[in-house]
Amino acid sequence: MAQRLSVELAQINLLVGDISGNTRQILEQARQDVAAGSDVIAFPELSLTGYPPEDLLLRDSMRLRVEAALQEICTAALPVYIVVGHPLHEEGRIFNGLSVIHAGSVIAQYRKQALPNYEVFDEQRYFTPGNSPCVVEMAGIPVALTICEDLWHDLPMAQVAQSPARLLININASPYHHGKDAERLELLSARARQLSMPVCYVNLVGGQDELVFDGGSLVVDAGGQCRVRAGSFSVLRKRVQMEVAESGELHLRDSDCAEALSLEASCYQALVTGLRDYIDKNGFPGIVLGLSGGIDSAVTLAIAVDALGADRVQAVMMPFDYTSELSLRLAETQARDLGVTYRVVPIGPAYHSFMEALQEEFEGYPVDVTEQNIQARCRGVMLMAISNKKGSLVLTTGNKSEIAVGYSTLYGDMAGGFNPLKDVYKTLVYRLAEYRNQQTVSAGEVPRIPEEVITRPPSAELAPDQRDEDSLPAYDRLDNILALYIEQDLSAEAIIAQGHDRDEVFRVLRLVDRNEYKRRQGPVGVRLTRKGFGRDRRYPITNGWTPGE
């Protein structure tokens, strides 16, 4: 009989810092795999602590809790090879490591060699890099083990190539951004061909503050072909059966590749996952948001209902003198169709009370944006009061385009605890609305977002006949300029060279630069791009840089 190996990829959702809870989840999954006859079960990177644990790694008790967790897994003495990621403390140093546990003993350990220190990653702040490979014989087959970033670097891969390994297992906590699934598959295919062996890639799933881990665990064969791809944004286990051929190569017996998601589908699921886990992992009973009848709040409401269910969502329409009848109707229609709690709380009395109190202070000054900001802040106060009374978290609804140029009000529409659309450009907001409606129509349901919300011109409705494009460039042009400046770090002259108007480019870039102080005070939100307004982009508030440089 041919020699065989059954490997289980455990794509699980973990809570950072909950070492005992994460350990229980790992043991539960491992026991199920023993019953199913698996030989190996691989868990994601830093699975005992969750990822990223950040400065929790610096606490003295971290080492003791991790050691206790490893001992608990060993005590279970399960007859399966358990590959589990965790911080590894040695002589005052911390490594991003993994242990292989079998039948009650730690039989091998590995220390991550390539420590990422770009975009959202900050591993060199905490970890010491390893320098040695790890090959473990599992059920008679030599298996190499690496961690996440190692797969992207030549030295760890050269070590694997020079080893007797016939299979590579790479454990990951790889966060989502646009196009990440295609990048991974391309890399794994190239590495598998380079190593002439199958590669198993297991990834974390779930939301952690601004980060969302999309899972999408993969197995490619020695020829670089995808043989197994797990679904994205779902907790699941994926098993792959292998056997040794007469040539000594390890062949995969399985072929089950889930279809890759479209951009709109992956973004939408990332937003739902990020919101759900932020609310649930932090123990909030639900959310409350301002529903204006506009596109941003409408998409946010749809995401909230998909993430939490209608019974945990409250929408509040807060009309004022400039709120149109159309906005009132569209907000009520969407709230009714989605079945959420809906209230109308006019801000007129609060606004006029503020104006009366400030009458002497404002005497002699013309009406300007101040009065618009007071409207937004009245709404912010209303939502925060409801939040305080009911315990629900306030969702803000600003998109990346507005946040980039400061088209928002501190302590007004920026007041809240989480912003699902923080890294979603306005043009993508519209695409997500169309995508979500297509899904409901295909299922024979009422569209989640009224069509008139999508087709009407965007407006903050803070002044008579106001339109966003009175203050901003058209969103297709604006978003292109922003993406070039924020995500590609192009200079003003380089952006102009791509065909954009000089005056418009300099105006937009000045707005981006001078509104860093606002962004620093905004709520956390889901990261979708390589350069979100959070861990990715750390610009000084006070600086003398000019956008032409």
| Residues with Cβ within 8 Å of residue 65, at least 6 apart in sequence | 19, 20
For residues 209 and 474, give the distance between their C-alpha atoms in angstroms, rounded to a whole number: 31
Spatial strand order in the sheet of 199-203: 135-138, 141-147, 167-172, 199-203, 218-220, 226-229, 256-257
Cα gap 476→396, rounded to integer Å: 23
The Cα–Cα gap between 546 and 430 comes to 32
Cα separation, 314 vs 293, in Å, equals 15
For 48, residues 6+ apart whose C-beta sits below 8 A from its C-beta are 19, 22, 23, 26, 66, 69, 70, 84, 85, 86, 87
The question of whether 452 is a catalytic residue gets the answer: no
Neighbouring-strand partners of residue 169: 145, 200
Q: 375 to each of 183, 368, 382, 463, how far by Cα in Å?
A: 45, 12, 11, 10
Query: Which one of 8, 112, 378, 402 is the catalytic residue?
Result: 112
Which DSSP helix (H) or strand (E) runs through 439?
A: helix 426-442
- Could you list the beta-strand ranges (E) of 149-210: 167-172, 199-203, 205-208
Sequence-separated (6 or more) residues with CB below 8 Å from residue 114 = 129, 149, 150, 152, 153, 155, 156
Token duo for residue 122? 């900050």
Catalytic residue (one of 8, 45, 123, 461) = 45
Is 267 among the catalytic positions?
no
State how far the Cα of 171 lies from the Cα of 497, in Å rounded to an integer.
43
Maximum separation of any 2 CA atoms in the chain, in Å: 94
Catalytic residue among 8, 123, 134, 148: 148
531 in catalytic set: no
Percentage helix, strand, coil for the chain under 3-state DSSP, each rounded to 5: 40, 20, 40
Q: Which residues are catalytic?
A: 45, 112, 148
